[in-house]
Structure 1
Amino acid sequence: MSNINDEHKIQLIVTGGTIDSFYDTDQCTTVCHDETAIPDFLAKFANITADEYELFEACMKDSREISNEDIQEVSNAIINSKSSRHIVTHGTFTLFESARTLMAMLPDNHGQVIVFTGAMWPLVGFSPNDAGFNLGSAFVAARLATPGVYIAFNGKLYLPTDQEGLH
């Protein structure tokens, strides 16, 4: 697709998390990239080009470090975007909590489709992994869902209020 109107683009908001990390052997854990690796992945492996989405990098943090101010920045990005469809990449530790916090910040009739997603393994450097599948699921959900806040993970679509979460 070329020359997509801004209102039909999906706003991609990145916040870090494992999905956008690399494995640091010195620390024996994943560490967020300095800049998101997602656009490169989308172009190379999903045939989703930069004219199909609007990128907003809110932060690059482990989700345990995400603050209410970070979620407020996500909220502001959504409100100020011409798009009505949004994907938020996020770490899994506080994914549901951040989705609920965002829901509370938005007016009840916001008219936006907001899909959070993340991964248990980094998008780059681990194969096979769940990251590409979850990101693809988020794009499908963002394109097809009715207005609301959702979490796309492992081929399922959750509500932020789901008690079982990803377990």
Structure 2
Amino acid sequence: MSVLILTTGGTIDKLYFDALSEYQIGDSVVDRLLKTARVALPFRVQEVLRKDSLELTDDDRRTIADTVAAAPERRIVITHGTDTMTDTAQALAGRMQDDAAGKAIVLVGALAPARFAESDASFNLGMAFATAQVAGPGVWIAMNGTIFDGTKVRKDRTVNSFVASA
């Protein structure tokens, strides 16, 4: 079994140069985080996009879905910004009956950049990596210590956390 990690940008890969500057999406830190964690299971990292999730378009979501569908791996983790992660999860779920059927797809992000000392990025990525190995086919979101059905979750900005929805 091998896990594919698709990177799309988002907070997990943001760079801040100082308190007054704008952020940039930098090179992905995913490979480094997994190697630091001494992950022994084979994995492959592929950059798809390098965008803040608020800037993602329907075409970008199609590109993500096309990449998932074309991948030979059945276990896929997608790093993604948290603001529109649920929109991408819905778009991917729509493709599950077609090209991506039978794949476990786990979206994950961070509320603080991985480069920050007090970031949730490593924990979330580890959870997503583990979920991709054991979850059944479908679209999942791994955030805040919880695995959510990707079609039944929302980001609650008042508590800065993901919560299940109906």
Q: Which amino acid aligns with 2:29?
A: A
Partner of 2:159: none
Return the offset for 1:81. 1.3
CA contact (8 A) 2:139 2:151 kept: no
Higher strand share: 2
Structure 2 CA distance for partners of 1:163 and 1:84, relative to 1, 3 Å: closer
In the alignment, structure 1 segments of 5+ residues that lack a partner are 1-7
CA displacement 1:10-68 (0-9 Å, x = unmatched): 110000000011123265454210x212112211x21126x711222111100001112
Return the offset for 1:164. 4.3
Partner of 2:30: 38
State the alpha-carbon separation in 1 of the partners of residues 65 and 48 from structure 2. 10
Partner of 2:158: none
The match for 1:142 among 127, 132, 137 is: 132
CA contact (8 A) 2:86 2:154 kept: no
Q: CA RMSD in A?
A: 1.9
1:12 aligns with 2:2: no
SS in 2 for 1:83: coil
Count of residue pairs brought into register by the alignment? 156
The match for 1:156 among 124, 136, 146 is: 146
Partner of 1:57: 47
The match for 1:123 among 102, 105, 114 is: 114
CA displacement 1:103-157 (0-9 Å, x = unmatched): 1133268000000000001112x11210000000000100011111000001101
Return the offset for 1:74. 1.5
Structure 2 CA distance for partners of 1:74 and 1:163, relative to 1, 3 Å: closer
TM-score, normalisation: structure 2 = 0.86
TM-score, normalisation: structure 1 = 0.85
Structure 2 CA distance for partners of 1:134 and 1:145, relative to 1, 3 Å: same
Higher helix share: 1
CA contact (8 A) 2:86 2:153 kept: no
SS in 2 for 1:39: helix
* Structure 1 residue ranges (4+ consecutive) displaced by more than 3 angstroms after TM superposition: 26-30
